[in-house]
Amino acid sequence: MSQADRAVLLWLNGAAGRVAPLDGLVEWLVSDYLITAFLGLSLVFIWFGVRDDSARMARQIGVLTALASVGLANAAVLTINSYYFRARPFEDLDVTLLFYRPTDSSMPSNSAATFIGLAAAVWWFDRRAGAVLLSAAGLHAFLRVYAGAHYPSDIAAGALIGVAAAFMAYRLRDLLEPILRMVIRAARVLCLA
C-alpha cells in the first residue's frame, strides 16, 4: 500500500468520530441502501418518465444499457477478487469505522464500480440525469473512504472499472439494440414499459 493512499485515508477519516450528527449522516449515506435506492428509483423515473414513444424507447434502451454496465462491473470485480485480496483499512490501521465490517476484498470497491458504472452509462444518453447520478455515486465513494471502509485507491480502481464497464455496455448496445427493442416491446404489452 502506498504511503499516499494511507495518508489520504487517515486525513479524511481523521474527522470521523468528532461530530456525532455528522457521523450519523455519513453512516446513513454510506449504507448499502440509500444511494442504491436513489439510483434504482432514478432508473425507474428514466424508464417511465417520457411520453413520446421514440424518446421513451431510447431512454429505456439506455436504462437496459446501464443495467448491463452494472452486471459487467460486478463481473469484473468478482473476477479480480478471485485473484487478489486486499484487507480493509480498519483491519490494518487505527481508523474510526462508520460502517459495518465487510469481509470481502477492499480493492477494487464494488460499490464504486457499480454505482459509477451505472451513472456513467446514464450520462452517455442523458447528460443531466447522468451528472446527478455521478454526483451521488461520487459522494458515496468519497464517504466510503471517510467512513474507513476503503482506501482511496480502492475507489479509484472501482471507478475505472465502472467507467470501462459503462463504455463496454454502451458499445454492446449497438450490437444488441434489436433484441433490446423486442424486450421493451414485450414489456409494453405487459404494461411494464
At 4-46, the pLDDT tens digits run: 999 999 999 999 999 999 999 999 999 999 999 999 999 999 9
d(CA 11, CA 47): 41
pTM for the structure as a whole: 0.94
DSSP 8-state assignment for residue 158: H
Q: How confident is the model at residue 1 (pLDDT cuts 50, 70, 90)?
A: low
What would the pLDDT profile of 120-161 be if each residue is shown by its tens digit?
999 999 999 999 999 999 999 999 999 999 999 999 999 999
CA 68 to chain centre: 13
Q: Which of 110, 136, 170 lies closest to 42, judged by CA?
A: 136
Q: Do the Cβ atoms of 119 and 139 come closer than 8 Å? A: no
Amino acid at 161: I
DSSP 8-state assignment for residue 16: T
Domains in the chain: ranges and CATH: 3-189 (1.20.144.10)
What would the pLDDT profile of 60-98 be if each residue is shown by its tens digit?
999 999 999 999 999 999 999 999 999 999 999 999 999
